[in-house]
Amino acid sequence: MKKLIALLICIFLSLGIKAQNLIGAWEGYHTSEKGKKLKSVVIFSGGYQVITTYYSKTGKFKSTNGGTWKLKDNTMTEKVEFDSNNSERVGTEVSFDVYINDSILGIVGSKMKFKRIDKGTPGKLQGAWLMSGRIKDGKTQLRDTSRPRKTMKILSGTRFQWIAYNTETKQFMGTGGGTYTTNNGAYTENIKFFSRDDSKVGAGLKFNYSLVDGKWNHSGLSSKGDPIHEIWSVRE
């Protein structure tokens, strides 16, 4: 069996991997130190990625990290922008070899494997976005997205995650994510994990959304029940 697995890995590596093949969402399961079942979800957009691990039964958040990524031949290189468990990794680059077919993503030398959830479709909102403004009392308040304090949202075809962090101070402020749908101007999130409040797991939040001049207008009630009207811009 070990020889067969090694042979398959060699075949995958010899075929080479196209970066486009990674776009979308992937999930994998493993076990914690205390024997609890964990779920990890990875979302790849065109230039940014995030991986989050949470307890599959309860949705209790465990960790998240992510940033930019690029793939050359079979080597993945990631530059870390945030890491909830180890802020010292922020700003560093990590490289490792991967193998992939249409439904499985693996890391060479690791037992961890991920099964494809989607390929980025359907996905009117697929990609990485930065919060670039708010509308409050009818007034638009814009935000400089180049500053180190960021709120980023990454979406595949069916999965979403937002992350608040600061690349300068290396501080991680919070995250949440799960599944989403879009239908006739309605954007609905179903929360699978939320670092700030486990009690929100399982909740569904429905918003109005529209794309205006390439910007995502997002309005409704937050997880706290407060009215919001946010503006999100595509992250280049």
DSSP category for residue 110 = -
Q: Which domains does the chain have, with CATH numbers?
A: 23-118 (2.40.128.280), 127-234 (2.40.128.490)
By three-state DSSP, how is residue 22 classified? helix
Q: What percentage of the chain has pLDDT greater than the value 90?
A: 82
Q: Which residues pair with 69 in a beta bridge?
A: 78
Q: Yes or no: say if 16 and 74 are a contact pair by the CB < 8 Å rule.
A: yes
pLDDT range class, residue 19, cuts 50, 70, 90: low
Per-residue pLDDT, 38? 97
State yes or no: pLDDT of 8 exceeds 70: no
Per-residue pLDDT, 10? 46
Residue type, 22: L
By three-state DSSP, how is residue 92 classified? coil
Summarize pLDDT for 132-165 with one digit per residue, the tens.
Answer: 999 998 899 999 999 999 999 999 999 999 999 9
User: Which residues, 6+ apart, have CB-to-CB distance to 59 below 8 Å?
Assistant: 191, 192, 193, 194, 198, 201, 202
pTM score of the predicted model: 0.90
Per-residue pLDDT, 4? 41
Summarize pLDDT for 58-111 with one digit per residue, the tens.
Answer: 999 999 999 999 999 899 999 999 999 999 999 999 999 999 988 999 999 988
By C-alpha distance, which of 105, 201, 118 is closest to 158? 118
